[in-house]
Chain A
């Protein structure tokens, strides 16, 4: 099986705090991979390591058969990223942001204009394309970040909570677009807190808890592992040890 992302014992520590503790990811090419975990589990740190924003403390990894530490520019030519904090120039317009991304990827002007127009229409940003990103709402910023990630037609997309703050109509269009992208051979590595979205979109999942990968594989296998036909949510709770957690009574709340 050809892998889009392959990591070996990746570890990232900030002083005494170990955010990612030796994970071995295997993301098949052409898969829609959902990366799940509770808050603070290490999802965003993992994505930052994979996209080159953080340097792993130890371990090795390959992205699309390339070594990101040795060939960072080549890897970035083939990948698109929507990071947690979106990473946009506040004082460029939406259209200029896309032009910037197109130019650094070496696309010709006509190509950039054509793709930008289509993406802006898809994201319903045509009217706001000449406004500064600083004046965009959170949802609009998310959409333009997603458009910027898609513009160079990458082979691998890293999406950190891509549907958070996006309206239902755009969300459905983006889901369809991503499904089409995967069908055509692209790979999506997505983190989300919304298990329902992961359940509906992803064919593979990995679950990280306290910096360790506690499960990984095709979503059907993971559900069927217990043989009881559990939902993804139930399986997720089991794996992160939250199935028997009951909220404390907090008697003072019922005064």
Chain B
């Protein structure tokens, strides 16, 4: 009864939180309501698309099961697909739970612990809540209809094993997601430990994402080395299985596959595999319970170590802007570079470009156009600089929402709207400069080609794009402000989707114009020495245009001041 009552209460709580999140905008102005409605559109669209996916997966599961049962398709081939999907999902569950722990109640845990809910019930509810994670929810009907398909094909024995193994897989998925989520919750008890973990996790994930491509390039290379007669050889499921290390056999997805595969031949072994799968699920459930107990038993705040003091705090006054705007700029830079989101946005584009360049250099079948572009270091730098500019959209398209309560301090200080805007643009400019230094180094290492003048021209070009973008960025940031959580690498640190979308269109339009000037001078007129001068003139024009436009955009702040001040909440 307690469990049912608690579950009902939690479902109601989530529903009310969702409804209240939408209703809370009622007292704000029209722009605020439009902004919030647009922000709510993305999850609604995702939900609508998910329904289609659920139906698709259900149908595929049933057809696959039936085809395997009737011999229309080799059962081993169908099972191979199921194993791969389930195996990939195991990794995805951990990754997605880490990136977007959307279903957990972790944020309001202190309040929940004060309620008369047994901790074991709280743990169970948290585990069950993972069933609604989209990446788990989408596979559930597939597993069920796969067993149904086998039954419909007359293979009752196989169907029974598949149903039991499917239940075991579900137990594994929800327990694994809960374990990852509780581990994360424990890590984030300490802000510093949590932010360090996020940074390492995202960097490792980015590095790992190119591993399959590098491996495929190796396979590709190996295939080119083979005699022509050997190239058509396809790998069978048995051959593939033989190459797998022994430890993979105890992976839940492999246990599922082996149980269903062997059910017709040796029922005892099949059920033993199912039993082992369930034992693994139970083990993960017990482990998640232990971590949960540790999490809620840990102190709310760990003792913070005091940082070593240099004793002196430096202040800088930037050129072209006054002391007030400089203070805003320095605060923006410090805020960004001390946050997970800021470090990723600034530090990632350079290394990413280097990794991709190395990858494409190694690939034997890189498209000729791309290979030609890679041979021009200045173009690689230009592309990486654009990547850096886009990566900074969390800051450039949400100039006011990244400060949270700090923005109120600025509003209470003698900082004019124009100084605020100039300071914000200058601060993001400093962030872009840091990112560009890394991109420059990465491009020089990846492709040390092209004339110095072309590189200089590319540098002028990106600054011209940034300057022309900045008035629009101010306007979009004022119209679509979002209280960003910079300690997160996921969507909570993003700018408003509408601001990002419009920003990308504007960056694209300015880039096309800038690239056209660059390409005409560099390749059509074939006057490489003229290119940097033309780009410098373009930069000057951009400054001349953006400077008054910034003044115009700053007038947007006063009428939006009350809405922007609400971002601190």
Interface size on B, residues (CB 8 A): 45
| Contacting pair A83 B315 (CB below 8 A) | no
| Contacting pair A90 B414 (CB below 8 A) | no
Q: Which residues of A contact B412 (CB under 8 A)?
A: 51-53, 76, 81, 83, 87
Shortest beta-carbon distance from A102 to chain B in Å: 7
Q: Which residues of A contact B486 (CB under 8 A)?
A: 91
Q: With an 8 A cutoff between CB atoms, is B304 at the interface? A: yes
- CB closest residue in chain B, given A55: B562
Roughly how many angstroms separate A60 CA and B416 CA in the complex, as a whole number?
A: 21
Question: Contact flags (1/0) for B305-342 with A, using CB distance below 8 Å?
Answer: 01111101111000000011011101100110011000
| Contacting pair A87 B327 (CB below 8 A) | no
Known contacts A91-B338, A96-B334, A113-B312: A85-B408 contact under CB 8 Å = yes
| Contacting pair B568 A85 (CB below 8 A) | yes
Q: With an 8 A cutoff between CB atoms, is A73 at the interface? A: yes
| Contacting pair B310 A131 (CB below 8 A) | no
Q: With an 8 A cutoff between CB atoms, is A4 at the interface? A: no
Q: Which residues of B contact A132 (CB under 8 A)?
A: 338
Shortest beta-carbon distance from A80 to chain B in Å: 9
Q: With an 8 A cutoff between CB atoms, is A109 at the interface? A: yes
- CB closest residue in chain B, given A99: B313
| Contacting pair B411 A103 (CB below 8 A) | no
Shortest beta-carbon distance from B207 to chain A in Å: 26
Roughly how many angstroms separate A112 CA and B312 CA in the complex, as a whole number?
A: 11
Q: Which residues of A contact B280 (CB under 8 A)?
A: none
Q: With an 8 A cutoff between CB atoms, is B415 at the interface? A: yes
| Contacting pair A104 B414 (CB below 8 A) | yes
Q: With an 8 A cutoff between CB atoms, is A233 at the interface? A: no
Q: With an 8 A cutoff between CB atoms, is B403 at the interface? A: yes
Q: With an 8 A cutoff between CB atoms, is A195 at the interface? A: no
Roughly how many angstroms separate A95 CA and B313 CA in the complex, as a whole number?
A: 7
| Contacting pair B414 A88 (CB below 8 A) | no
Roughly how many angstroms separate A74 CA and B414 CA in the complex, as a whole number?
A: 7
Please classify how large the interface on chain A is, using the bins under 10, 10 to 19, 20 to 34, 35 or more.
Answer: 35 or more
Interface residues of A in 60-111 (CB under 8 A from B): 73-74, 76-77, 81, 83, 85-93, 95-106, 109
Known contacts A55-B562, A89-B409: A104-B307 contact under CB 8 Å = no
Shortest beta-carbon distance from A134 to chain B in Å: 6
Interface residues of B in 534-566 (CB under 8 A from A): 561-562, 565
Q: Which residues of A contact B413 (CB under 8 A)?
A: 76, 101, 104-105
| Contacting pair A89 B335 (CB below 8 A) | yes
| Contacting pair B406 A87 (CB below 8 A) | yes
Roughly how many angstroms separate A99 CA and B323 CA in the complex, as a whole number?
A: 12
Q: Which residues of A contact B410 (CB under 8 A)?
A: 104
| Contacting pair B307 A106 (CB below 8 A) | no
Interface residues of A in 215-247 (CB under 8 A from B): none
| Contacting pair A134 B191 (CB below 8 A) | yes
Q: With an 8 A cutoff between CB atoms, is B405 at the interface? A: yes
Known contacts A14-B27, A17-B27, A134-B191: A52-B411 contact under CB 8 Å = yes
| Contacting pair A103 B408 (CB below 8 A) | no
From B26, B301, B339, B565, give the contact of A53 (CB < 8 A).
B565
Q: With an 8 A cutoff between CB atoms, is A248 at the interface? A: no
Task: Return the 4 tightest CB-CB contacts between A and B, nearest first.
Answer: A89-B406, A87-B408, A103-B327, A76-B414
